Amino acid sequence: MESQIVFDHLTAPGLCSGNTDTALMYRSLIGSWDISARWHTPDGGVKEGRGEWHFTWILGGRGVQDVLFQAGAAPDQFGTTLRCYDPVLDIWHVTWMQPSGGEFVTLTGRKLEDRIVQEGRGTDASRQERWSFIDIKENTFTWQGEVSRDGGVTWMLEQEMFGVRMGVG
């Protein structure tokens, strides 16, 4: 019962206020998505998988939270991202967590043209992370996860996810 009270207070019907492009940039991702994913290894190998990604407004409309998981994964292997809009800096503070995999990444999100670009660092401070939502349409999007070990001079594509809105495709 207590957990339901928490979730009732956490979720929100929409953005609370603000109409800047940055404040609204995650709006089109709200909902549930089927995901096809590819992981790229440094030696040129590729691993593929499927999963789900669910986004909702939270904290009175000042944030967006998601849950992401691979098909068949146990709930303790799920990951979540908390994004909160900062109207003073006109950016989103973004934190990804997947405790079972030891993944904790802190980024800032901005709108760059038609892309959402989130940049920062994770647990491995030698890696710079750049996670981008690109080619965002009403019922599809592409997400790319890139890493740099040379201060952003060169980037390696580590992961791609292709989202299709549930119930559409």
Domains of the chain, each with CATH number or no CATH: 2-165 (2.40.128.20)
Cα separation of 54 and 67, whole Å?
5
The reply to whether the predicted model has a pTM over 0.75 is yes
Which of 64, 67, 68, 32 is CA-nearest to residue 50?
Answer: 68
Write down the pLDDT at residue 18: 64
Q: How far is CA 73 from CA 31, 50, 65, in A?
A: 20, 10, 19
Both structure tokens of 18:
């603000």
Cα separation of 64 and 109, whole Å?
12
> Residue 161 carries which side chain, given as an amino acid letter?
M
Cα separation of 142 and 132, whole Å?
8
With tokens 């009732």, the residue in question is: 8
Q: Which residues of the chain have pLDDT under 50?
A: none
Write down the pLDDT at residue 169: 61
Both structure tokens of 154:
């060169």
DSSP state of 5: H
Write down the pLDDT at residue 165: 98
Is 132 in contact with 118 (CB distance < 8 Å)? yes
